[in-house]
Amino acid sequence: MENIFSYSRDLHEYIISEAYHPYLRRYLNEPVIEEQKLLLLILILNELNIPEEDRKQYITATLLVQAALDVHNDVTSPDGHAENDALKLRQLTVLAGDYYSGLYYSLLAETENNDLIRLLSEGIMDVNEKKIIFYEQHYSDLASLLDAVKVIEAALIVKLEECFTVPRYRNFIENFLLLERLKKERQAFIEKGDAPFYQALSGLLFSEKLASLAEEQIESLKQQAETIMQEVQALCIEELHQQELKGSSVAGFYAGRLAEEPVILTSNGEEG
């Protein structure tokens, strides 16, 4: 395969073009296609004996349904618009999610891969169940909280791998995408003073909402989040050194990058 980053950019542009609808684009941003999920899908499917065009369609379909699930998270976010404008924006957001879902089904129907349709449908159901647990805070401990985030972030890619081969990347996929999500949550917390994961962690540690915490509690919360990220990163590196992953394209691509990318924050809020 050509340079993976070049291929990834081309495929990203293709997915965006597939998702294009002139009316939706007038009011909404283009769907977010996460680079790390795209790279993971490329690396995993590149190891399998799948025709290029089918591989392209599988990746596109998976990331379109991921975009549909993600965009529905924004349905209740008016973002300061007037009431009528906010209602229209929410309706269009729902419509966009449904449109991406329709494209996903259409693409997979063309491949006639009923097993993948079934498995991704299971993944969609798993994601939605865990979203309820995560956002409604229906978890009893840190392990169940992290499990919910893992499924939300990784279920579709895990199901796709399961469709084509004996899964060997599942643990890495889940932990790596958990780590990526936690980094985004941390950035949101730094910029806005609020993020769903930090709200959840606040409830677990202090039985309080984030806004009610004293300064020393916030510092303790931040340190706990940093510790969790370091532990998850260590699990990712450990997984890549497992015997069954040695020599794989995924291990070759991520092992050095993870080892050279510390997740702890310096005092000025930068990774270092």
- Residue 84, pLDDT score: 57
pLDDT tens digits, one per residue of 224-233: 999 999 999 9
Any alpha helices (H) in the chain, and if so which ranges? 4-19, 22-27, 35-46, 52-71, 83-111, 114-135, 142-164, 170-192, 196-206, 215-240, 249-259
CA–CA gap between residue 157 and residue 59 (Å, rounded): 9
The more confidently predicted of residues 39 and 72 is 39
Whether the pLDDT of residue 148 is over 80: the answer is yes
Tokens encoding 148: 């919910």
Give the distance from CA 105 to its chain's centroid: 20
CA distances in angstroms from 18 to 14, 64, 100, 174, listed in the order given: 6, 9, 9, 27
Distance CA 230, CA 124 (A): 29
Range of 22-26, 78-82, 203-207 with top mean pLDDT: 203-207
* pLDDT grade for 74, boundaries at 50, 70 and 90: low
Torsion of CA 163, 67, 71, 97, to 10 degrees: -80
pTM: 0.87
Q: Could you tell me which residues come within 8 angstroms of residue 121 by beta carbon, excluding any fewer than 6 positions away?
A: none
Q: What is the pLDDT of residues 10-27, one digit of tens each?
A: 999 999 888 777 666 666
CB burial of residue 169 (10 Å; 0-12, 13-18, 19+): buried
The pLDDT tens digits for 87-137 are 666 666 666 666 677 777 788 888 888 899 899 999 999 999 999 999 888
Name the percent of the chain lying above pLDDT 70. Answer: 82
Query: What pLDDT, on a 0 to 100 scale, did the predictor assign at position 109?
Result: 80
Half-sphere exposure of 210 (CA within 13 A, CB side): 14
